[in-house]
Amino acid sequence: MRIEIVVFDGFDELDVFGPFEVLSMAGFDVELVAVERPGPVTSMRGVQLRIPGVLGEADGVIVPGGGWLNRAVAGAWAQARHGVLPARLAALAPSARWMASVCTGGLLLAAAGLLAGRRATTNRNAYEELRAYDVTVVDERVVDDGDRITAGALTAGLDLGLWITVRELGAATANRVAATIEYPAPTPERLSRSSG
């Protein structure tokens, strides 16, 4: 199974590298991809990456956040305003098994029209903005709505990676990865914010 994690200038590092590490350890083919063209991408804290591939035909796509809450000139907010990434996500959604997000990456899925009428989550500070896209906001670390999976803020990207592993490879594999990274197992109870 091929999973693409899309990166853009201003992305949040933990939103990307948390699920990247978990999914890679689980045995998935995971690649960081650019929005429009290969080349350099700089994270919100200045980490520079050279990205050789572009968002294309993946079984699963993960969209990070970063820069939404403070309306940064580079980041998820800027990507939504630019419009290219939401359009690409909307075009790819019918052929992907699922699309997922971490933190305010959920607002990019919403801007693409992919969360309307769905249950989803994001950073708590952006719940009202997500509701404005006709989304039923759920206060949980990971919300699985079939072919859309959303994760809350920052560290919930680890939970997202483990939850995708449960869905695709089974609980035994997810529990092995969780034990390796010394992180709690991805049970439904664990992913509820009220209990964890």
pTM: 0.95
Residue 23 sits at the vertex; the CA angle it makes with 67 and 104, to the nearest 5 degrees, is 20
Give per-residue pLDDT as tens, 45-78: 999 999 999 999 899 999 999 999 999 999 999 9
Q: What is the mean pLDDT of the chain?
A: 94
What are the structure tokens assigned to 132, written together? 């404005």
Residue 195 pLDDT more than 60? no
C-alpha 95: how far from chain center: 17
DSSP bridge partners of 60: 3, 98
Indicate if 103 belongs to the active site.
Answer: yes
- Separation between Cα atoms, residue 168 and residue 79, nearest integer Å: 29
The per-residue pLDDT for 194 is 39
Percent of the chain with pLDDT over 70: 95
Angle between helices 13-26 and 171-180 (to 10 degrees): 120
Q: Which two tokens stand for residue 138?
A: 């759920």
Catalytic residue among 103, 114, 153, 178: 103
CATH superfamily entry for domain 2-97+156-191: Class I glutamine amidotransferase (GATase) domain (3.40.50.880)
Residue 2 has pLDDT above 70, yes or no: yes
pLDDT on residue 191: 63
Q: Mean pLDDT, to the nearest integer, of 21-46?
A: 97
Average pLDDT on 78-92 reads 98
Q: pLDDT for 107-166, tens place per residue?
A: 999 999 999 999 999 999 999 999 999 999 999 999 999 999 999 988 899 999 999 999
